[in-house]
Structure 1
């Protein structure tokens, strides 16, 4: 670990932490400020790193336990850095019935990760979604903003190759 690095690998002197402080100060006296501040922090980093949340906690005078409670309650917040490409597999009823679990299992094998995790190289994060709104194309998965319909486990290697 480098001198100015934290355990997560981020730079403690990171200019983004100064931005987090500025955002927090801007909202300091605004009622209900925590969620908008957390959204801005996540927009800045792509996730909610502990160091940034500590700055928010200090500046807004909100305990870390409350911040973590909000971060874990709302599914739009994430405490883990996501990969360059986010893969979402629909697990809604139509997709599940048509084989979404087999898609997940193939992705687990191909990527070497479980749902909710990111590959070691930081390329892919695998997520399960409740519904992606494309039931007629079941089973469906998305990579970033691209929807793949009527996916079979055999399609997975070719689809992943497009992103490597």
Structure 2
């Protein structure tokens, strides 16, 4: 059960839009931007507030990969495994992130909610392969050694 303040914030987000089905995606994006994930309870709440069925809201949220029902870390690390990145050894880069952060194939977010590691199909920076993104910042020509440097730098920003 979510704290009442989450519903209040969601009401503030909804106020910026028309209460109709066309507002569903932008409202979901704003909620996810606020909380770094889309709580299922809030999705149900939004559906009722804007007049769409709960089933419709959940079908939209599950259709788009960008929406997550699980909390994500402050730093969302997307490791590209598209063809160019894969050929240029993106798997050891991902493995270095996982090892450095103590993550596994079943655990993608650190306990302190600082880091989430995901694999994506393409970041559109093939000439810079292998690449990863940390939030909106692209990191080119990654190596396992650069992973350790990057994690240490990000930790330093919060220390």
TM-score bracket, normalised by the shorter chain, equals: 0.7 to 0.9
Give the TM-score, by structure 1 length.
0.79
Which blocks of at least 5 consecutive residues in structure 1 are unaligned? Answer: 1-5
Larger Rg: 1
Q: Secondary structure at the match of 2:154?
A: coil
Corresponding residue number in structure 2 for 1:68:
58
Deviations 1:119-154 (A, max 9, x none): 111010111122222222211112223322222223
Deviations 1:60-94 (A, max 9, x none): 34333322211111122222222111111111111
Asked if the contact 1:88/1:128 (under 8 Å) is kept, the reply is yes
Which blocks of at least 5 consecutive residues in structure 2 are unaligned? Answer: none
Corresponding residue number in structure 2 for 1:32:
22
Corresponding residue number in structure 2 for 1:143:
134
Alignment of 1:55-94 (within 5 A): 55-94=45-84
Asked if the contact 2:21/2:52 (under 8 Å) is kept, the reply is no
Q: Which one scores higher on RCO, CA 8 angstroms, separation ≥ 6?
A: 2
Across the aligned residues of Structure 1 and Structure 2, the Cα RMSD in angstroms comes to 2.2
Higher fraction of helix: 2
Q: Structure 1 runs of 4+ off > 4 angstroms?
A: 22-26
After TM superposition, the structure 1 stretch with the greater mean CA deviation from structure 2, 152-161 or 121-130, is 152-161
